[in-house]
Amino acid sequence: MKRKLRNARCSLRGTGFFFGKIALSEMPVATMVLFRLVFACAGLLPFLFFDRPRFAGTEWRWVLAAAAFGVPVQFLVQFKGLSLTTVSHASLMVGTLPILLAIAAVVFSGERLHFGGWVALVASTVGAGLIALSDKTVTATSHASVRGDLLVLLSMFAAIAWILISKRLMRRHSAVMVTAFVYWIGTAILLGAVRNSTIR
């Protein structure tokens, strides 16, 4: 049952770039990302009332950092990259996140990575490089580009910062409360960025 739910979640998550690419043909990157996050925040709205924030004064800095990395930085860079490359290339770049996150956990959280993990890291890095530098297939609607691939890959580092900071906050607070406040604050920051954005 858990495997079925995990597969369904991955399948739904995989449609994000597909529909995002379609949306990007109709609107600027920043506007599309804002609409996406507004709908996400609407679903999280009830949790803001059911679970009051109990962050300490210093923890609010971590909340703001997670919000900045997790919403405007990650998604603006990621979807700007998507606008410059293909859905398949962007999806494969995102596939490097688990390995990059494992390395970050070793470096910043003191977790251990077994030999198989290091082998997977090398294979993933080589694979991502081959994909980014592979022959670009041009179609009538889109084409892959190294710049777009690298922007999507760069957004993974923002995602790693968001995940590690959120994990730190979740040691003392519920995952739902942390997620809700990080996304709402991040979307507010994104709104300010969109109003002054030059991303097209």
What residue ranges do the domains of the chain occupy?
2-195
Check residues 97 and 3 and name the one with the higher pLDDT: 97
What is the overall mean pLDDT for the chain? 78
Contacts 24+ apart (CB under 8 A), 101-104: 101/159, 101/160, 101/163, 104/160, 104/164
- In the chain, % of residues over pLDDT 90: 23
Please report the pLDDT score of residue 3 as a whole number: 54
Q: Confirm if 163 and 103 have CB atoms less than 8 A apart.
A: no
For residues 139 and 47, the model is more confident at: 47
pTM of the model: 0.76
Longest dimension (CA), the chain: 53
pLDDT tens for residues 74-133? 999 999 988 888 887 787 788 777 777 777 777 777 677 676 666 766 776 676 666 656
At 174, the pLDDT band (50, 70, 90 cuts) reads confident
Of 51-60, 67-76, 191-200, the range with the lowest mean pLDDT is 191-200
Q: Beta-carbon neighbour count of residue 25 at 10 Å?
A: 10
78 compared with 26, residue with greater pLDDT: 78
Could you give the CA distance from residue 4 to residue 193 in angstroms, rounded to a whole number?
38
Residue-level pLDDT at 139:
47
Report the alpha-carbon distance of residue 75 to residue 83 in Å, rounded: 12
- Judged by average pLDDT, the poorest of 57-61, 128-132, 174-178, 194-198 is 128-132
